[in-house]
């Protein structure tokens, strides 16, 4: 397979906490071949299988594999969008209100980074890419992020660099995520030189919206009145809570996993009608999983599950840009490995 830069790369990667395969799409784009997938959510597994029919069985709970990494095939690159809830602003606030621990103290999710680290330690992939929410850098006054970087650099011995990237340069959505890239050998890789188009020149919502949309996506009078009242109440208190109303010339807020509840963060204006939610297929375009007029991203699940899946996913064109930036460095390590084996 030939990458967009014209360089042939043949490498194997694994897709951990895979969701619906956003990271996978980016690294297949530069010639990678997925040899192992782990995703515990059964609905995400359905969507994954529908869109990657050549994929082998999707494995579930990562703990089984971190405890016995030999179960995972050898690979050149490890991809992991390890769950962000313990490190996100919303997740931390919710856990604090419930009196529950978060971050590395969270028994259920906070240790999933360490499961990833165990697999890296065992397999020593040539490179890895980890993805998380922007707030990871600030969680627990920066201690969480410092621990992660220390583990990757000092305990595992990787050359590591990271950067927060805004998706607005590629899709009509302001979505900031942190990407952490690592290389096993000494590398000149740096995110400083990645080519990121100017966000102000990025596409607008009109590029992903359909003209003919089922009325079921239009808000009921009851819900629309509630959202307007909710916004007024919080504006009076000086808070910024409320809905986001957008037209075809705008760039949307971040799509979240809670979008299925009321769609309030991204409502689309309609003439002489209440605003509407985005359709799941429009969300697929907003996240870069498909292009308007191109092949549809298959959604064998309910709208509720589709909204959750896209809200938890990565923006595919951003991952493609990161993969292209990592490509020559991955290629050099793969070539070095092949030469050493000959």
Q: Which fold has domain 205-310?
A: DNA Methylase; Chain A, domain 2 (3.90.120)
In this prediction, residue 1 carries a pLDDT of 39
Average of per-residue pLDDT across 24-45: 96
User: Which residues of 238-286 form beta strands (DSSP E)?
Assistant: 245-246, 267-268
Where do we find the tokens 């604090």? 96
Residue 307: strand, helix, or coil = helix
For residue 226, which phi and psi values (nearest 5 degrees)?
-65, -45
The pLDDT, as a whole number, for residue 84 is 59
pLDDT at res. 105: 33
User: pLDDT (tens digit, 9 = 90+) per residue, 93-129?
Assistant: 555 565 555 544 343 244 688 889 889 999 999 999 9
Task: Encode burial over 212-228: b for 16+ CB neighbours within 10 A, e otherwise.
Answer: ebeeebbbeeeebeebe
The pLDDT score that the predictor gives to residue 112 is 82
Question: Which residues does the annotation mark as catalytic?
Answer: 84
Task: Report pLDDT for 106.
Answer: 40
Nearest residue to 38 (alpha-carbon basis) of 6, 3, 8, 68: 68
Choose among 115, 63, 113, 110: nearest CA to 91: 110
At residue 61, the pLDDT reads: 86
Which residue, 287, 313, 311, is CA-closest to 203? 287
In this structure, the dihedral spanned by the alpha carbons of residues 33, 186, 183 and 9, taken in order and rounded to 10 degrees, is -20
Give residue-wise pLDDT tens across range 55-102: 778 998 888 998 899 999 999 999 999 875 554 555 555 555 655 555
- pLDDT for residue 88: 53
Average pLDDT, the chain: 88
| Closest alpha carbon to 81 in 257, 238, 202 | 257
Would you say how long the chain is, in residues?
Answer: 342
Summarised one tens digit per residue, pLDDT across range 217-257 is 999 999 999 999 988 887 877 776 789 999 999 999 999 99
Q: Determine contact, residues 30/9, Cβ cutoff 8 Å.
A: yes
Of all residues in the chain, the percent with pLDDT exceeding 90 is 68
In this prediction, residue 4 carries a pLDDT of 41
Tokens representing 107 are: 């028994």
**Can you give the pTM of this predicted structure?**
0.89
Domain positions in the chain: 11-197+314-341, 205-310
Query: What pLDDT, on a 0 to 100 scale, did the predictor assign at position 94?
Result: 55
Q: Report residue 145's pLDDT band, with 50, 70 and 90 as the boundaries.
A: confident
The pLDDT of residue 239: 73
Whether 11-197+314-341 and 205-310 share one fold: the answer is no
pLDDT in tens, 287-313: 999 998 889 999 999 999 999 999 999
CATH class in words for 11-197+314-341? alpha beta
Per-residue model confidence (pLDDT) at position 147: 84
Task: Examine the pLDDT at 31 and tell me if it is beyond 50.
Answer: yes
* DSSP result, 13-66: EEEES-TTTHHHHHHHTTTEEEEEEE---HHHHHHHHHH-TT--PPB--THHHH
Distances (CA, A) of 279 to 42, 45, 168, 256, 322: 22, 21, 20, 14, 28
pLDDT for the residue numbered 97: 60
Per the listing, tokens 């070539």 go with: 335
Residues 6+ apart with CB under 8 A from 213: 276, 279
Q: Where are the beta strands (DSSP E) in the chain?
A: 11-16, 32-38, 77-80, 127-133, 159-166, 176-183, 245-246, 267-268
Strand partners, 183: 127, 159
């Amino acid at each position: 397979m030939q990458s967009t830069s014209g360089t042939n790369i043949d490498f194997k990667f694994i897709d951990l906490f895979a969701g619906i395969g956003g990271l996978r799409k980016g690294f297949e784009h530069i010639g990678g071949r997925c040899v192992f997938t782990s995703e515990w959510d059964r609905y995400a597994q359905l969507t994954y299988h529908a869109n990657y029919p050549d994929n082998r069985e999707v494995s579930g709970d990562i703990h089984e594999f971190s405890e016995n990494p030999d179960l995972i095939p050898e690979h050149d690159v490890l991809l992991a969008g390890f769950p962000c809830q313990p490190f996100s602003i919303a997740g931390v606030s919710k856990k604090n209100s419930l009196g529950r621990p978060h971050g590395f103290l969270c028994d259920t999710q906070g240790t999933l980074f360490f499961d990833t680290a165990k697999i890296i330690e065992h397999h020593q992939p040539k490179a890895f890419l980890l993805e998380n929410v922007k707030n990871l850098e600030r969680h627990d006054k920066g201690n969480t992020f410092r621990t992660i970087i220390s583990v990757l650099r000092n305990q595992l011995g990787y050359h590591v660099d990271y950067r927060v990237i805004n998706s607005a340069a590629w899709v009509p959505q302001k979505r900031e995520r942190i990407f952490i890239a690592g290389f096993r050998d000494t590398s000149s890789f740096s995110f400083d030189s990645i080519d990121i188009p100017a966000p102000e020149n990025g596409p607008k919502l009109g590029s992903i919206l359909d003209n003919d949309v089922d009325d079921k996506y239009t808000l009921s009078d009851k819900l629309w009145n509630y959202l307007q009242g909710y916004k007024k109440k919080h504006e009076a208190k000086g808070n910024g809570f409320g809905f986001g109303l957008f037209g075809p010339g705008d760039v949307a807020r971040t799509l979240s996993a809670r979008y299925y509840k009321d769609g309030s963060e991204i409502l689309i204006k309609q003439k002489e009608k209440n605003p509407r939610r985005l359709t799941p297929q429009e969300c697929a375009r907003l996240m870069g999983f498909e292009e308007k007029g191109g092949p549809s991203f298959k959604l064998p699940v309910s709208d509720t599950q589709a909204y959750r899946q896209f809200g938890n996913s990565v923006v595919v064109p951003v991952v493609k840009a990161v993969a292209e930036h990592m490509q020559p460095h991955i290629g050099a390590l793969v070539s070095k490995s092949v030469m050493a084996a000959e």
